[in-house]
């Protein structure tokens, strides 16, 4: 019995040894795929190294380009600042020369009481002419409508409608300056901001010619915001130090009855011209019922 158990155990061990041998044979002897797997791994690592090197080079190149662009931006900004400064200097020189020329220009001799209406396109100059005359004489419309300076004759006065697109060359035109000088009243119509017309205002200041500002389309401004806009405009007038500005009116040329300033303006426009007053009065006073 003991011998049988012993021999069975031996047999099991032999079998177990055989099993271990079979399992480990492939790892003890190089398999056919062995020698190829090693170079593949090295190749993969080499490629990885190359790729990361390539990415590093690309990153460096991108950084270099970014820095180049930033440098260019800086120099462009510098050049722009310098160009702006130069343009400003040139502009001031031009203004002075223009003022000198304007001072030497004779005023146009015009009959009666002449009221010139200036301002940018679509601020409502022609609408104002029509409302002052009580008729639709001048063409009105959105965009550039009035193409040339046009007189509209009343009994003792003339209203001059002007094109909104007044560029620098217009003001450097002696004939135009002569016309501006010959006017009895100069109204500058604006909508929300004074600064757009500040060049004309500065020229008039320089020439010692009085002018008035008309803030038109006041009906567009919400009732609650009207006092604030009035304060703001008066503040800008003060800060610009406009010397020859006489009056500022807040009104609506399209709906003259809406604001009392319309009548105040009509009175003011005609205070030096009694006949005009009668004429204006005839046409307008009945219209109002404040």
Closer to Mg ion by Cβ: residue 137 or 268: 137
Kindly give, in sequence order, each residue whose CB lies less than 8 Å from that of residue 242, ignoring residues fewer than 6 positions away.
Answer: 201, 205
The count of C-alpha atoms lying within 13 angstroms of the C-alpha of 153, restricted to the half-sphere facing its C-beta, is 5
Residue 270 interacts with, from Mg ion, ligand GTP, none (CB under 5-8 Å by kind): none
Nearest distance in Å: CB 255, ligand GTP: 6
Nearest distance in Å: CB 218, ligand GTP: 7
Tell me the residue number closest to ligand GTP, measured at CB: 164
Q: Does 114 contact Mg ion by CB under 5 A?
A: no
Q: Which of 123, 126, 166, 216 binds Mg ion (CB under 5 A)?
A: 126
Closer to ligand GTP by Cβ: residue 154 or 164: 164
Closer to ligand GTP by Cβ: residue 179 or 277: 179
Nearest distance in Å: CB 126, ligand GTP: 3
Q: In whole angstroms, what is the distance from residue 68 CA to residue 66 CA? A: 5
Residue 142 interacts with, from ligand GTP, Mg ion, none (CB under 5-8 Å by kind): ligand GTP
Q: Which residues bind ligand GTP (CB under 6 A)?
A: 119, 121-127, 140-142, 144-146, 163-164, 216-217, 219-220, 252-254
Nearest distance in Å: CB 114, ligand GTP: 18
Closer to ligand GTP by Cβ: residue 105 or 152: 152
Nearest distance in Å: CB 206, Mg ion: 26
Closer to Mg ion by Cβ: residue 114 or 126: 126
Contact 240, 194 (CB under 8 A): yes
Residue 105 interacts with, from ligand GTP, Mg ion, none (CB under 5-8 Å by kind): none
Nearest distance in Å: CB 147, Mg ion: 9
Nearest distance in Å: CB 241, ligand GTP: 26
Closer to ligand GTP by Cβ: residue 134 or 163: 163
Closer to Mg ion by Cβ: residue 56 or 165: 165
Where in 138-197 is the site for Mg ion (CB under 5 A)?
A: 145-146
Residue 188 interacts with, from ligand GTP, Mg ion, none (CB under 5-8 Å by kind): none
Task: Tell me the two tokens of residue 86.
Answer: 């130069």
If you write DSSP's letter for every residue of the chain in order, what string do you get? Answer: -HHHHHHHHHHHHHHHHHHHHHHHHHHHS--TTHHHHHHHHHHHHHHHHHHHHHHHHHHHHHHHHHHHHHHHHHHHHHHHHHHHHHHHHHHHHHHHHHHHHHHHSPPP--SSEEEEEEESTTSSHHHHHHHHHTS--S---SSS---S-EEEE-SSEEEEE--S---HHHHT-HHHHHHHHH-SEEEEEESS-SGGGHHHHHHHHHHT--EEEEE--GGGS-GGGHHHHHHHHHHHHHHHT-SSEEEEEE--SSSGGG-THHHHHHHHHTTT-HHHHHHHHHHHGGG---
Q: Residues in the site for Mg ion, rule: CB under 5 A?
A: 125-126, 145-146
């Amino acid at each position: 019995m003991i011998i049988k158990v012993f021999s069975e155990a031996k047999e099991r061990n032999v079998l177990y040894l055989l099993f271990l041998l079979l399992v480990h044979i492939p790892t003890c002897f190089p398999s056919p795929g062995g020698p190829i797997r090693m170079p593949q791994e090295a190749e993969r690592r080499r490629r990885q190294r190359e790729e990361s090197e390539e990415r590093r080079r690309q990153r460096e190149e991108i950084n270099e380009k970014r820095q180049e662009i930033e440098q260019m931006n800086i120099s462009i900004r510098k050049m722009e600042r310098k160009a702006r400064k130069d343009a400003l200097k040139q502009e001031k020189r031009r203004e002075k020369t223009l003022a000198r020329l304007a001072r030497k220009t004779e005023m146009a001799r015009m009959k009666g009481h002449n009221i010139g209406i200036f301002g940018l396109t679509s601020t409502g100059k022609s609408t104002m002419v029509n409302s002052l005359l009580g008729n639709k004489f001048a063409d009105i419309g959105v965009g550039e409508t009035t193409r040339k300076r046009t007189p509209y004759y009343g009994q003792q006065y003339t209203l001059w409608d002007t094109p909104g697109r007044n560029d620098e060359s217009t003001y450097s035109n002696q004939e135009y300056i002569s016309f501006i000088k010959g006017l009895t009243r100069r109204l500058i119509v604006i909508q929300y901001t004074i600064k757009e017309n500040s060049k004309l205002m500065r020229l008039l200041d320089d020439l010692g010619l009085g002018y008035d500002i008309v803030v038109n389309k006041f009906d567009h401004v919400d009732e609650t915001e009207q006092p604030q806009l009035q304060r703001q405009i008066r503040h800008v007038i003060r800060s610009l130090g406009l010397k020859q500005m006489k009056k500022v009116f807040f009104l609506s040329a399209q709906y003259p009855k809406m604001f009392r300033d319309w009548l105040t303006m009509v009175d003011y426009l005609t205070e030096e011209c009694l006949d005009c007053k009668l004429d204006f009065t005839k046409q307008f006073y009945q219209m109002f019922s404040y």
